[in-house]
Amino acid sequence: MPYRRPRGTQDILPAEAAKWQAVEATFREICERFGYGEIRTPMFEQTELFVRSVGESTDIVAKEMYTFTDRGGRSMTLRPEGTAPVVRAYLENGLYAQGGVQKFYYLSAIFRYERRQEGRYRQHHQAGIEALGSLQPSLDVEVITLGLTYLSAVGLDEVELLLNSIGCPRCRPVHREALRAYLRDRLDHLCPDCQRRFEVNPLRILDCKVPTCQTATQDAPVMLDYLCSECAEHFTAVRKGLTDLEVAYTLQPRLVRGLDYYTKTAFEIAHPALGAQNVLLGGGRYDGLVEQCGGPPTPGIGFGSGLERVLLALEKTGRTVSLSPRPRLYIAAVSPPERVQAQQLAWQLRREGLRVELDHEGRSLKGQMRQANRLGAALVLLLKEDELAAGQVTLRDMRRGEQELVPLEGLPERTIRQLGHSHRW
Ligand code: HAM
């Protein structure tokens, strides 16, 4: 086989796709319940958008973007995250002019050139939300609870919510200097990546997973102790809001997100069944991003959740997700001449909304019945020449193992009734 799919990507085959559909449908349903509307943005954007918003020194921009020059000589990048494109669309379409809080959700493919490991892909898919236009802590609480509701609705309850505040451009520089002063004597103990981070983004060192870095930074000053009064008050209100709703969380002063646009609230939801890549969902506030992208000062908050990781967690915990099982109707032709009527009837019933299968491989009647069984068909219509001539067909209920002769007239209504209200799926 000369061709293979690119490293770090997946083919989602029908059996697996059914699970994806179930998770995606659940996410949509929960978002709509919380008042979020879908937004779809292009799969690629001007490179500069991501460089400026995600930040030049981040791993994403420095090492992981799929960037190319298009035929017009412009630098383009496959979407490496979902927030900047939403902010760009919000500005470009003048949505800020409508005022108030605007709430969006998306299901998007995301591209990052990552080192291959479990739970990490070069094309992954995020279920994400963004809420723009309010600094109220109640919005932080809404965004976090939406994430928890979604995970619980797909069957992941035993998750851990990790919470931190990473301050704002006013209080962060003070902490950064304190952190640098602390780390200066410990530079030798840091991994090469962190030695580079020391200059450009020392905060990220706190989040490094390399054990020597973790030991070296054990008592490092954390942002929480340096919050300005505005950030501290905001964080207290977010914590109170969560407590008022009896949402449990763990304060995680070392939680640092990997993108530069974050301010104030930062959070992650992790699952114990996953290994190193155990974060199912991550997000936070980005109160300066809209302005940085050329818009009016507008606060924002959101999260992104990897669908692959959610599915992996479901698999590891032995949960199954699926849409309600789809009853099927199978149309069998007893002899070759009835195949024409089988096709006519199949088309008619499919247009009526029924899920219908029939043979395309010239199977015998026995072969067709076997196929109907394999597909899990609830009903089988048997088309026989003499019965058809009398305007009738045999309808076999596969679950009960009973069959009866029924008139062709009114057949769609009859089968729909028999399959119950969920026949459309
Ligand atoms: P992020 O933490 O980079 O944030 O990604 C969000 C989630 O996407 C992660 O928690 C993880 O579940 C999943 N994820 C990330 N990278 C991969 C990968 N290589 N393979 C599989 N899954 C992955 C963002 O992207 C922000 N835009 C989230 C956000 C929205 N913040 C505010 N609004």
Helices and strands in the chain, H and E counts: 15, 16
Write out pLDDT tens, residues 353-363.
888 999 999 99
CA of 311 to the centre of ligand 1 (A): 15
Tell me if 305 CB under 6 Å of ligand 1: yes
Average pLDDT over residues 388-406: 95
Domains of the chain: 14-171+227-316 (3.30.930.10), 328-419 (3.40.50.800)
Give Cα 404 distance to the centre of its chain: 47
Q: Crossing angle of helices 411-419/339-351, nearest 10°?
A: 60
CA of 407 to the centre of ligand 1 (A): 56
**What residues pair up with 75 in beta bridges, in sequence order?**
69
Better-scored residue on pLDDT, 412 or 113: 113
pLDDT of residue 324: 56
| Residue found under tokens 């019945």 | 369
pLDDT of residue 201: 85
pLDDT of residue 418: 85
CA of 350 to the centre of ligand 1 (A): 39
CA of 414 to the centre of ligand 1 (A): 48
| Residue 139: pLDDT over 70 | yes
| Residue found under tokens 């301050």 | 167
- The candidate with the shortest Cα–Cα distance to 140, out of 126, 130, 154, 152, is 130
Average pLDDT over residues 402-406: 96
Residue 408 DSSP one-character state? S
- What's the chain's average pLDDT? 93
Confidence of residue 204 (pLDDT cuts 50, 70, 90): confident
Query: Rounded to whole angstroms, what are the CA distances from 101 to 68, 230, 396?
Result: 35, 21, 55
- The candidate with the shortest Cα–Cα distance to 150, out of 282, 29, 313, 243, is 29
Question: Looking at 16-30, 124-138, 316-330, 371-385, which range is the least confident one?
Answer: 316-330
Q: Which residues contact 121 (CB under 8 A, 6 or more apart)?
A: 8, 9, 10, 114, 308
pLDDT of residue 200: 85
Question: Pocket of ligand 1, candidates 78, 160, 309: which has the most ligand atoms within 8 Å of its Cβ, to mutate?
Answer: 309
**What residues pair up with 108 in beta bridges, in sequence order?**
126
Confidence of residue 272 (pLDDT cuts 50, 70, 90): very high
**Cα–Cα distance measured from residue 95 to residue 89, given in angstroms and rounded to the nearest whole number:** 8
pLDDT of residue 125: 98
Q: Are 394 and 353 in contact (CB under 8 A)?
A: no
Question: Looking at 14-23, 37-46, 126-135, which range is the least confident one?
Answer: 14-23
The tokens describing 91, both together, are: 């500005």
Q: Which atom of ligand 1 is nearest to the CA of 302?
A: 33
| Strand segments (E) across 88-159 | 102-111, 123-132
Average pLDDT over residues 159-171: 97
Better-scored residue on pLDDT, 262 or 424: 262
pLDDT of residue 323: 65
**Cα–Cα distance measured from residue 289 to residue 130, given in angstroms and rounded to the nearest whole number:** 12
pLDDT of residue 327: 63
The tokens describing 219, both together, are: 């008592």
Helices (H), 155-294: 172-184, 192-200, 211-216, 229-244, 289-292
